[in-house]
Amino acid sequence: MVESPLGKRVNVLDKGWIELVDLMPHPESKVSGDLAIVNAARVSFLGESKGPDRDKRLLFYLLRHRHTSPFEMVEFKFRVRAPLVTWWQWVRHRTWNMNAQSGRYTPFKEEDFYVPDVWRKQSADNKQASEGTLEASESLELTDKLLRHYDEGYRLYEEALERGVSKEMARLFLPGFSVYYTWVTKIDAHNLMHFLRLRMASDAQYEIRVYAKAINEHFFAPALPWTAEAFRKHVLNQAE
């Protein structure tokens, strides 16, 4: 039996992580996620499992021919810690249900800022993309300046709090796009595959691509092995 990914946490970026906090159907259920999809497809005929071979063939048929509603019967709920630069990409997918940490209630900590490993160059032929990286010496110089920027912003944030400024206003001093937030977010398998197809692509921004790849490898594929195989073959067009 494949070990359930429920409760697993995977580190992403320098300080981020993602964990699966709930899954439907639950791993203790008698019905696996893949079989829940198959059974949903067969409900028109009031049928259920016809054995692993026929069940898997049906699931592949469904995805190959874009009969997607049965895949909505499986849901994933995650807790995710990611910088705002990632969340700006994520929230464009409105099929996710989301609830976020609020800086109005929870004060930020000094280490709550994203520090990239490398500095990417602007793509010459794509206005919204990056391509290649700066030389190591330039990257080190920029990282040092970024850290000093964070230190100053956080110092001013703490000063404002000490003066009695509300948390909702004091956070104006924080460098916005780099602040880490924690979210609870939920999605069904059909819409998750759409998210993964777009956000694992080579032209997706790196800071969301690594989260998408982590979801695919550590949560989606282990929870739905048949669906993940069909997804690779019929959606990503990857040879096994």
CA distance 75 to 190: 9
β-strand pairing of 75-83 with 16-24: antiparallel
CB count within 10 Å of CB 167 equals 16
| HSE-CB for 138 with a 13 A CA cutoff | 6
Backbone conformation region of residue 49, classed left if phi is above 0, alpha if psi is from -120 to 50, else beta: beta
Whole-angstrom CA distances from 210 to 16, 77, 130, 207, 218 are 10, 18, 15, 6, 12
Here the tokens at position 181 are 């937030």
- The active-site residue out of 9, 64, 171, 199 is 199
155 in catalytic set: no
Q: What is the largest CA-CA distance in the chain?
A: 68
Residues designated catalytic: 199
